[in-house]
Amino acid sequence: MSSFRVGFLPLARVNFDMEAAGETLAASKALLNWLSPAVCCPDQHLSTYDMMTDWIKANGPFDFLIAQASTFIDPRFCLEYLQSTDCPVLLWGVREPSIAEGTRLKLNSLTGVFALSQLMYQLGRDFEFIYGNPHEEQVKTAIKRWLKAGEVASRVKNMKMGVIGSIPPGYFFSLEEEVMLRSQIGPQVVPVETYKLFKLMEKIDEPTRKTVFAELVKEVPAFAKLSPERQSAVAGFYQVVRNFIDENKLDAICGRCWPDSFEGLDIAFCSIYAMLSNHLPVGCEADQGGTLSLALLSWLADNAPAYLADPVALDEANDTMTYWHCGFGSPKLAKPGTEIDVVGHPNRKVPPSFAFPLKPGRVTLCRLGKGRNGYRLLIGSGESVDAPLQFSGTSAVVRMDGGSEKFVRRLADEGWEYHIALVYGDLREELVTLGRLLNVEVIKAW
C-alpha cells in the first residue's frame, strides 16, 4: 500500500493568463496534498513535452495520473507518454475565472480537457473526468473517491492471497483459474495443503497454545467453554495459520474448512477464521472470488472487517433478505449488547462456531465473480435492520435498495456466485470506480 504513487500533471500553455492559472495550481496542490500523501506534485505548470517528461523521469514511475488542463493545451506533447504507459488517468478541467465580461478567455481549460479526452478515446484508453475548482465539495469528493479506489486497485493487483486446501466437493463457484486471475485481476496465489498445516501444528508447544488461547478468550470469553483438547487444537491451528500469513506476507487468505476440520481435528474452523478476519480479509470454503470481494470492501472501508455470507431467506412482506453463515464473522460486526456465543457447527454440531446477529446500519454488498466474458462486479446496498439471530450461526437482515426480491432474482437469473460480501458504510461509488480501474464489468443493483 505504501508504494502507491500518483502523479499530478498540471498542463498549461504560457500564452494564457498564467497568474490565474497559478492561483488554480496552488489551490489544486494544496487539495491533493491534503487528500493523500501518495500524490506527487510539480512546483510549476508543465508547459512543454520536455518539462513533462523530465519531471516524470525524476519523480516517477506512477501508478495513476491526474492530468489537469490548467489552460487550453495542445495534446500532442502528451501523446508519446500516454502511448508508453497504461496507468489510469483522471482528467480535470477547471472553471473559467471570468464570464460575461467580454474579454479573452483566461484559461479555456474545458476545451483543453476535451482535447485530452478525444486523444485518450482515440488511443482506446479508459479515463475519468471531473470539472470544477479545487474548493468545490463535489471536486474534493470525486478526487478522494478516485484516489481511494486507485489505492485499492493497486493493492489488489499486487496482493498475495493464501489458499488453504482445495474447494469442498461441488463448490464449483469457489474455483478460480490461477493464470486468468493473475493476468486479469492481479493477485498472486500462495497455496498450502490443509494436512501440511496439521503437520506443522505438532511444532506448536502447549505453553504457546495456552498463551494464544488466552488471547482468544480475552476477546471472546465464550471460547472458555471448549474442552481442553479442543482449546489446544483451536490455538494450534490459529497459530499455524498466523505463521503462514506472516511468513508469506499475505494480504488475504481463504481456506477449505469442512470436512477437514471435523475429520482431522474434531473442531470447526468457523470461529478461527472469524478471529483472523479481525486482521485481514478471510474467506471460507476456499472461495477465492469471495475473498477478493471481501478485500475490495475491507480496504475501501479503511481495513474494517467485512462479512462473507449466503443469502438464505427472502421476506417479501418486509422487503428484507437474510444473509447468514455457519458461525463465521468478525466479533467486531456483532450487534451492540450481544454476547457472542461459541456453539457447535449448525450442521455437524462440532464447536467452535460463533452465534450472534450482526449490527444494524448502512451496508454495501458486492461480489467479484466470473461472467461469460470475463470477470464482473456486482454492487448492491441496503440497510441492515435491528433483528435477532435468524438461524444458528451468524446473520444480518438487510432491506435492499431497489427491492430485496429484485436482488434475489438478479442473483439467480444472472448466475452469480452465492457467497456475497458485506461491509458497513456506503461505498457504492468507490466500488464503481474500482471496478472500472480493475477493467471488469460493473453491475449496479440498487
Per-residue b or e along 335-354, where b marks 16 or more CB atoms closer than 10 Å to that residue's CB: beeeebbbbebbebebbbbb
445 has a pLDDT exceeding 90:
yes
Domain for residue 249, yes or no? yes
Q: Which residues contact 300 (CB under 8 A, 6 or more apart)?
A: 148, 149, 152, 423, 427, 430, 431, 434
Domain for residue 1, yes or no? no
| pLDDT, tens only, 215-244 | 999 999 999 999 999 999 999 999 999 999
Cβ atoms 242, 294 nearer than 8 A? no
Rounded CA separation 122/98 (Å): 32
Note whether 335 and 396 are same-domain residues. Answer: yes
| pLDDT, tens only, 237-269 | 999 999 999 999 999 999 887 778 888 899 999
Tell me which amino acid residue 348 is.
Answer: R
Note whether 130 and 253 are same-domain residues. Answer: no
Domain for residue 26, yes or no? yes
2 has a pLDDT exceeding 60:
no
Domain for residue 386, yes or no? yes
CA dihedral 10, 13, 19, 20 (to 10 degrees): -70
Cβ atoms 22, 31 nearer than 8 A? no
Domain closes at, from 131, 157, 183: 157
Other beta carbons less than 10 A from residue 249's beta carbon: 9
Note whether 100 and 223 are same-domain residues. Answer: no
Rounded CA separation 64/59 (Å): 13
pLDDT of residue 361: 98
- Cis ω before 352 (30° cut-off from 0): yes
1 has a pLDDT exceeding 50:
no
Bigger pLDDT: 313 vs 174: 313
Domain for residue 257, yes or no? yes
91 has a pLDDT exceeding 60:
yes
- The CATH number for 165's domain is 3.20.14
Rounded CA separation 288/369 (Å): 10
Note whether 362 and 427 are same-domain residues. Answer: yes
Cβ atoms 252, 270 nearer than 8 A? no
213 has a pLDDT exceeding 80:
yes
Note whether 280 and 409 are same-domain residues. Answer: yes
Rounded CA separation 207/220 (Å): 20
Domain for residue 47, yes or no? yes
Domain for residue 62, yes or no? yes
> Would you state the cell numbers that stand for residue 49, as one nine-digit string?
513535452
**Average predicted confidence (pLDDT) for the chain:** 93
Domain count, the chain: 2
Note whether 283 and 401 are same-domain residues. Answer: yes
Note whether 177 and 142 are same-domain residues. Answer: no
Note whether 366 and 254 are same-domain residues. Answer: yes
For 126-180, the DSSP string reads: -EEEEES-TT-HHHHHHHHHHHHHHHHHHHHHT-EEEEES-PPTT-GGG---HHH
Nearest to 164 by CA among 234, 277, 249, 258: 258
Using CA atoms, how far residue 271 sits from 96, 333, 354, in Å, is 58, 13, 6
| pLDDT, tens only, 41-80 | 999 999 998 999 999 999 989 999 999 999 999 888 788 7
Note whether 151 and 172 are same-domain residues. Answer: no
Rounded CA separation 429/265 (Å): 43
- H or E segment at 365? strand 361-371
Note whether 259 and 238 are same-domain residues. Answer: yes
Owning domain of residue 20: 6-157
Rounded CA separation 140/142 (Å): 6
Note whether 333 and 218 are same-domain residues. Answer: yes
- Cis ω before 357 (30° cut-off from 0): no
Cβ atoms 431, 118 nearer than 8 A? no
pLDDT of residue 80: 79
Note whether 202 and 323 are same-domain residues. Answer: yes
pLDDT of residue 101: 67
Rounded CA separation 295/283 (Å): 10
Q: Specify whether the backbone of 108 is left (phi greater than 0), alpha (psi in -120 to 50) or beta.
A: left
- The CATH number for 52's domain is 3.40.50.10940
Cβ atoms 313, 322 nearer than 8 A? yes
What percent of the chain stands above pLDDT 90? Answer: 81
Rounded CA separation 150/444 (Å): 19
Bigger pLDDT: 378 vs 98: 378
Strand partners, 161: 189, 252
